[in-house]
Structure 1
Amino acid sequence: MMNYLKEKIPRIGFDIVCVFVFALVFKLSDVPTKVALYPAMICATFWLMYVLFDLRKYLIRHKELQQHKNNIDITLHQLQSPKTQMESDYQELLCQLEYVLLQRLRDVNKVNFDNREFITTWAHQIKTPITAINLLLQDMDEENELDKSYTREMKNQLFEIEQYVDMMLQYIRLDSLNSDLVLQQYNLLQIVKQAVKYFSRVFIGRNISLKLDDNLNEKVVTDEKWILFVLKQILSNSLKYTKKGTISIYLKKQNKTLKGQNSLILVIEDTGVGICSEDLPRIFQRGFTGYNGRMEKKSTGIGLYLTKTILDRLNNGINIYSQVNKGTQVEIIFRNLTNM
């Protein structure tokens, strides 16, 4: 109502001025008040009827536009026909803006697609020289301890490069993850062993103990490729921030609620430096490195973001508990244990 009055202020002001002009003319012409009052009342009645009709039309149109605003999925061509020339002009302007925005969006999508294709191709191509260098290092003659040390360090650096390339590939594929999923029933122990074997050289080189419980021999429904990537990311972080000690992998005893939901909780626990309590709420944010990442200068801020995103798409969960200088405990909740 108030918005209507604000929009009609010029028109109402003009009508009031006209009333005063007619009243002044009648006064100066010595027209009797009773004679002037009758046509004035008729005019006022018609004016009020017009205002009420116009207000009703205004409110109906406003309601229609509000409904369109709340249902923004519609296109401009689905809007109701304009009631005035001004509305028609605005709709034409919006159509032009829509066309320009869609054209720019297509251009941006094409650039993004080309970039993804280039990065994916590059990532696959870079693996070839990495593999070749690894083979050369294996065949290299190590005449003394210094040579062995150099070779070992070069292998470690190549291993890290491989990890970063794989992480980049999975990040690129994240948009198409849903269409890439192949959900089947797998043995959890076998998948965990694959992830551990991938880091066997790191475990041995850093003299870090592994405690792998036998109770992992359970069936879960998941995508092997993606869950293996998740386990590698978590193990990579555990190894990165554990200078000495043990990494334990086991199934957590479930409470009644989780058991009723037919789920398993896989725990990967380390005795590393831990995570600051103020960093814990943000560790799944993309690009967040935290205190440890800034100190070590090795964190990309992408690994845990990818982990959380992938587990969400797999309908699984993740919890992380940590204490500084005591270690970190990562829980992966498998909610699908039988074929769907």
Structure 2
Amino acid sequence: MSNLILFIRERIAWIGFFIFIIVMLNMLFLLDVGLNSVSIWYVNVSLLVSFSLFLMWRYIFEVGKLKDFLGNMDSHLDDAHKGGLALTPFQDVCFRKVEDILDEKNRELNQAKVQLQEYSDELLAWVHEVKAPLTTINLMLEHVEDLQLRRKLENEWLRLHLLVDQQLHLTRLASIEKDNYLNKVELKPIVYKEIRDLQAWCIEKGIGFEVDELKESVTTDPKWLAFIVRQILSNAIKYSPASSEITIFTELDPTGATLLHIKDVGIGIPLEDLPRIFQKSYTGTAGRESSQSTGMGLYLAYNVAQKIGIRISVQSSVGEGSLFTLRFPLQNEYIKLTGR
């Protein structure tokens, strides 16, 4: 129907000219007494039917050619194909122009893809190069005798390490399907390792952890799960007050899926910020007050979680803290995710 309306709108000049001819003929029939013997209605109906059939033929012919052209948009219209379409000279010029534009845009797109891949590879190589001196610095910190100085240096090292880690996983995000392996893993060692890695920051702020037994095993990729937990924990530590506590526990939802909860008693998230906290570079109301906030942690965690079948949800209110929940896929959901 939309094609027909567009066709009629494009041929409005034809229709207007036809109506003009009909009106002129009717005026001649009325003014010329020599035409009184000819039925004016017979002429009008004949012309109307003829013109309608002509429009129908043009509509079927032209729309059919257009669909054929659009269906072959990805391939060049060679001479034989163009001959099969029976293009008019004007249509041939238009189609050639469209082809030239498409070819130019495809070349630009391919060039941009190559440049983006080269940049991504260079950035990934740079991140790996940076990780080596970071590891060395971390080992050297153990030899700093001044305990207070060591704590400050460890805290700054941790901030730098987290930023480099974010950049590394941001670069890998586009190709995560090629870099994940889903299997059965235990939650406890993953969560405890991330807590230990953030120890310097927690000691500085006096933040403790109340961790459930975490006996559950889940189907996921352990490396990417560790990254998700790391982002949520670092976010909880960042916005928690000094000498507070972060609670980590698990439960099963009504469907039998495992839920991992990470709860803090920090400043909380305003209601208007909740729908946008997983958007790229969105720092929110609290983030604008902190120069440390990049708005990338939760964005990366959410996108990684989606790609490996984990659902992240959050409950929060200002002044009462936040509760982040990771829902792990069931066995049948895992099968759909892996396509097996």
TM-score using structure 2 length: 0.83
Q: 1:313 to 1:21 in 2, by over 3 A?
A: closer
SS in 2 for 1:32: helix
Q: Quote how far apart the aligned CAs of 1:103 are.
A: 0.3
| Alignment match, 2:142 | 138
| Counterpart Cα distance in 2 of 1:26 and 1:334 | 83
TM alignment of 1:153-172, pairs within 5 A: 153-172=152-171
Q: 1:32 aligns with which of 15, 34, 52?
A: 34
* Counterpart amino acid of residue 125 in structure 2: T
SS in 2 for 1:139: coil
Between 81-90 and 273-282, the greater mean CA deviation after superposition? 81-90
Q: How many residues align?
A: 325
| Counterpart Cα distance in 1 of 2:278 and 2:104 | 36
What is the Cα-based RMSD across aligned positions, in Å? 3.1
Point out where structure 1 has 5 or more consecutive residues left out of the alignment: 143-147
Point out where structure 2 has 5 or more consecutive residues left out of the alignment: 336-340
Q: Deviations over 1:207-231 (max 9, x none)?
A: 21111111x1111111011000000
SS in 2 for 1:182: coil
Contact 1:82 1:88 in 2 (8 A): no
Q: Quote how far apart the aligned CAs of 1:50 are.
A: 3.5
| Alignment match, 1:306 | 300
Q: 2:112 aligns with which of 96, 108, 112?
A: 108
Q: Deviations over 1:173-197 (max 9, x none)?
A: 1110112110111111122122222
Identity of aligned residues (%): 27
SS in 2 for 1:325: coil
TM alignment of 1:60-79, pairs within 5 A: 60-61=60-61, 64=64, 75=74, 77=76
Contact 2:302 2:312 in 1 (8 A): yes
| Counterpart Cα distance in 2 of 1:162 and 1:76 | 48
| Counterpart Cα distance in 1 of 2:72 and 2:240 | 50
TM alignment of 1:235-246, pairs within 5 A: 235-243=233-241, 244-246=243-245
| Alignment match, 1:233 | 231
TM alignment of 1:327-338, pairs within 5 A: 327-336=321-330
| Alignment match, 1:117 | 121
| Counterpart Cα distance in 2 of 1:325 and 1:130 | 36
Contact 2:312 2:324 in 1 (8 A): yes
Contact 2:186 2:217 in 1 (8 A): yes
Between 263-272 and 57-66, the greater mean CA deviation after superposition? 57-66
Contact 1:289 1:299 in 2 (8 A): yes
TM-score using structure 1 length: 0.83
Q: Deviations over 1:228-279 (max 9, x none)?
A: 0000001100111112311111013x443x22xxx11110111111111111
Contact 1:267 1:329 in 2 (8 A): yes
Q: 1:310 to 1:61 in 2, by over 3 A?
A: farther
Contact 2:22 2:44 in 1 (8 A): no
- Does residue 217 (structure 1) correspond to residue 224 (structure 2)? The answer is no
Q: 1:170 to 1:277 in 2, by over 3 A?
A: same
Q: 1:43 to 1:267 in 2, by over 3 A?
A: same
| Counterpart Cα distance in 2 of 1:130 and 1:204 | 20
SS in 2 for 1:99: helix
Q: Quote how far apart the aligned CAs of 1:91 are.
A: 1.6
Q: 1:14 to 1:330 in 2, by over 3 A?
A: closer
Contact 2:266 2:319 in 1 (8 A): yes
Q: Deviations over 1:103-143 (max 9, x none)?
A: 0001111111111111111111112222222233322343x
| Counterpart Cα distance in 2 of 1:18 and 1:246 | 88
Q: 1:314 to 1:10 in 2, by over 3 A?
A: closer
